[in-house]
A and B are shown apart, each in its own frame.
Chain A
Amino acid sequence: MTLLSTVKTKQNDSSGLKRLGMGIMYLILVGVAVFQLYPLLWLFFFSLKGNREIFGQSPFALPEDWLWENYQRVWTVGNMDTYFFNSVFITVTAVVLTLLFASLATFAIMRMKWKFSGIALLFIMVGYMIPIHTALVPLFSMFLRVGLLDNHLSIILVYIAYHLPLTVMILSGFYSQLSREIEEAAIVDGASIHRIFFQITLPMTTPVLSTTMIINMIYNWNEFVFANTFLSSDSLRTLTVGIQSFVGQYLTDWGAIGATLVISIVPVLVAYLFLSNRIVEGVAAGSVKG
């Protein structure tokens, strides 16, 4: 990156050098882009192969026979439609509530004036530090006791609780750059605190809300450990757990796993492209900073 920047600083010297620098930079940018896009293509090919081709042959190779039946098998045998719906439901619910709770908490910590705000932030941050496997058995026992095992609610609650710390940390980084002028003006105008939060601060943070929404969405969508442990009924399982039904005692159906992975990436890809536009649009609302 420093190389790029040095090239760029010399742009002023002469237009020839400048053009060369830009050329090199674009070459690198495009190169990296290919590098980042290739995994999708690779995964797609992977999903159309059988074990014999997946292992021991060049990963670059096109599928010999395009095994579309991998998809068919996944969809019929693998119960994908149910898993798919469950994943969407859990992800959407958890993401929305996480963002709301995190925004409320961050606002109270970063914008409001009280003595123990630092401690409150630390309290939340510590939540990020626990390795999830440590919490597994205690959580399982808790849910067992209150009868929430094998229930989507347990998963949603856990996703919210375990992603709140991360979300609050990211949000608080942004709140610290946010100018207070507008809020102060609103207070002078006699606006209530809730109004300030919902109608002024929240809209100003659209770019970061979109960012955290993307991050939360991806994390929840791909989460495996909790979903695997707390949901046992087939009708409640999520896509990531569904993949496991192709892992056999001795033989694993990798083609089917590839197909499931491709199917499961489509909705996040669409949602991501949509949300990442929101990050740009959000600038207009939040351009009062700096």
Chain B
Amino acid sequence: MTKKHGFLLFVMAILMATLVACGGNGDEDANGDDTADTNGDDEEVEERVLELSHLWPEGSSPQHHEIVSGIIEEFEADNPGITIETDIYGNEQYRENLSVISAANELPDVGMTWGGGFIEPYAEGEMFTPLDDLVTDDFVPGTVDAFAVDGQTYALPLELNIAPVYYNTEMFEDHGLEAPETLDDLKHIVETLVDNDITPATLGNREPWTGSMWYMYLADRIGGPDVLTEAINREGSFEHDALIEAAAELQELTDMDAFINGFNGLGNDEAKGYFINEQAAMYMMGTWDLPEWTTSEDNPQEFKDKIDYFKFPTVDGGDGDIDSFVGGPGVGLYVSEDSDMQEEAKAFVSHFVQRWGELSVEEAGVIPATAVDTDGMDLPDMYIDVLNDLNEATNLTLYADVQMGQDTEDVHLDMIQALMAGEVTPEEFAENHEEALAQEED
């Protein structure tokens, strides 16, 4: 019997061997192309490898990528014996990957993270190491707080954005409109534009953090800068009158057709397309979009010339002021608790933050989380205006979805969609939030 099957066994053995060999080939490729492969870890003697993963690939963010490469080269030159090896991912890919590698306990020495509720589990799970000794006065007040958990800082912020309302000045002028100062002005603008068959504002609420920013501003202007934050950190209640009223105002704007038809089904990129193609007059978005209105080569100059921005208007009788912003830092750098080169990693993070702060505005159009000295920089006017507004800002409220823990965040985002679709009343909206927040507290 065995004789007969010998042939087949032989065939299978060859197949398996080929398979393994193929895999081996792949490995060789990796080593060939990339001298500092992870495999090098085992046999290291003097050469030490610091792993960095970031989310600025050359394809989508060429300027960011270049600055980072430059920073790495500088650091390697200053620290002989250390090689920095990078894994680069796209944005979504990075998020997905981070949850898997952290579940398997395989974080790189240095990586990027988001703040607020996102960083909490990593801080509490002791995956990231505290970086308090690296915090300097250079950081814009409030930015580091977004990465603090229980009084310790677990990452250093790299960017700072606020969310103004961009508008098409031509469309406003054609209908005798000016940038609004109060919510009533804004409503007047909405009415006028709707009467003239123009979509007042575009909104990609399939990604409800966009609608959330509108809600946050209303809450801030009605109840002052602390109401929402206190509701989230449980010093206050979400059923505060101001928070319910803000929901009612947002619903009223929706009922007035302030937002584009079908906003709950549009993604942010699609929504922005309507603004860029001048099919909607207003668009609220973070200042990370400034390049779109200033330096972008994709958008025609005559369009860019028409775009200006205004601060979200105040509400008569409300407690908020116009220089209070919704915004916050985007990504920050963390150092892994398990890193066997923590000192080097920390030194690298410090160096990164400093150099990034010096280079990022001018070369990549990114407003860093560290103070910017605009002297001698050649920046578009809109950047100068935003940087001035940041200097004069009385308050910066971190995006609500980022502030919240991840369970509440989902309730919040769902509720924003439901509120704007008229599926829940402002009271139910607040009640649902309160319930989720109370539950999370337990």
Contacts and interface: CB of A to CB of B under 8 A. Distances in A.
Asked if chains A and B are in direct contact (CB within 8 A), the reply is yes
A247 B62 contact: no
B185 interface: no
Range for the number of chain B residues in contact with chain A: 35 or more
Given A93-B22, A151-B23, A229-B100, A253 B60 contact: yes
Given A55-B276, A93-B22, A235-B34, A250 B92 contact: no
A185 interface: no
B93 A247 contact: yes
A194 B7 contact: yes
B34 A233 contact: yes
A115 interface: no
A252 B8 CA distance: 51
A140 interface: yes
B78 interface: no
A102 interface: no
A117 interface: no
Contact of A245 (B20, B90, B273): B90
A137 interface: yes
Interface in A51-105: 51-52, 54-57, 73-74, 77-78, 82, 89, 93, 97, 100
B37 A229 contact: no
Contact of B97 (A144, A192, A229, A251): A229
A192 B273 contact: no
A77 B23 contact: no
B23 A153 contact: yes
B298 interface: yes
B423 interface: no
Nearest to A233: B30
A52 B224 CA distance: 37
A258 B157 CA distance: 33
B22 A152 contact: yes
Contact of B26 (A151, A241, A246, A256): A151
Interface in A123-181: 136-137, 140-141, 144, 148, 150-154, 156-157
Contacts of A221: none
Given A236-B29, A246-B57, A249-B331, 17 more contacts: A51-B276, A55-B273, A55-B274, A56-B274, A137-B104, A140-B103, A150-B38, A151-B23, A153-B19, A153-B23, A157-B19, A233-B34, A235-B30, A241-B93, A250-B289, A251-B292, A252-B269
- The list of the 5 closest CB pairs from A to B, nearest first, reads A55-B273, A153-B23, A56-B273, A152-B26, A248-B60
